[in-house]
Amino acid sequence: MSKRKVRAHIGLLGLLTAATLVLVGITPASAQQILIGDFVLSGPGPTQWDPAVAASACVVTGFTPVSDGMFGARSDAFDEGLVLGVDGSGFDDPDGYAPVSLSEKIATGPSAMSGLSVSRVDQVLQQSPTMRSLVKLANPSATGKTVDVSIESNLGSDGGTAIVATSSGDTTQQRADRWTISNDGSPTTGDPVMTLVYFGKHASVPPSSLDASLNAANDCSVLTFHVTVKAHSTRYLLFFAQMHGSNKKAKGGAVPFNLLSSGSALLNGIPGAVQSKIANWNL
């Protein structure tokens, strides 16, 4: 379904008084508390990523860092993307306001979910048309917790959904696929070509199930991760999304995710101590 929302560009927030913020294990940055839904995050491409709360992607309802996306003049990338679920309940920001950084990142939460304190930082990287989502699962209790965490994206490509490529080399999304690339059947003129990156090679916690896979009859992708967080400890999950103007560009953009390691620019700003606790990557 085509949609386009007009929001304030986050770069204009430099006109506001800024405060210092420590973002879920990320380098401190200047930020302002803004009502979620009143701004867009911007990156190269050019791309725009439109956050929202109470968004229904596929199964759960909650916060999305990209309710709609644009690549240049082409819109309708996502009908709610990267929505997070914990044990079947959607993660949402408690008050609908969030610290938004001038470096194109937004911090949401924490929210109490299944005995954990759940928060996330979503950042639009500036070296590629990439959204990076870092989810924090903190266990404040004296007993370990095991939860099912889903990552859900509706790509807005409706009945035109076409799988262009996957990490396994075919055009069918399977649970073992670390990333998928899809379009709406018109890769150069229609919706932006979209890449979803779910996990890395040799991850200690790969997906436990593929609940909904992309295909010509379905534009939802839902994967679930079975994650154990020990008492008084923290684990993280890391996801990426990209928008491109062609299949070829999208395929080239996916290559670095096959080789992602601690020195990658895609991880800039995430401290090594946090990287070592990311369950769905082996960095």
For the chain, the domains span 8-275
Q: Residues in the chain with pLDDT < 70?
A: 1-31
Beta bridge partners of 163: 182
Q: Which CATH architecture best describes the domain 8-275?
A: Distorted Sandwich (2.70)
Residue 243 exposed, middle or buried by CB count within 10 Å (0-12, 13-18, 19+): buried
Q: What is the amino acid identity at position 138?
A: A
Give the pLDDT score at 31: 62
pLDDT value of residue 10: 47
What's the token pair of residue 105? 């990142």
Residue 227: what pLDDT? 98
- pLDDT for res 163: 95
3-state secondary structure the chain: CCCCCCCEEHHHHHHCCCEEEEECCEEEEEEEEEECCCEEEEECCCEEEEEEEEEECCCCEEEEEEEEEEECCEEEECCCECEEEECCEECCCCCCEEEEECCCEEEEEEEEECCEEEEEEEEECCCCCEEEEEEEEEECCCCCEEEEEEEEEECCCHHHCEEEEECCCCCCCCCCCCEEEEECCCCCCCCCEEEEECCCCCCCCCCCEEEECCECCECEEEEEEEEEECCCEEEEEEEEEEEECCHHHHHHHHHHHHCCCCCCHHHCCCCHHHHCCECCCCC
Go through the chain and tell me how many residues it has.
283
Give residue 33's pLDDT.
86
In order of 44, 106, 282, the CA distances from 102 in angstroms are 15, 9, 30
The per-residue pLDDT for 8 is 53
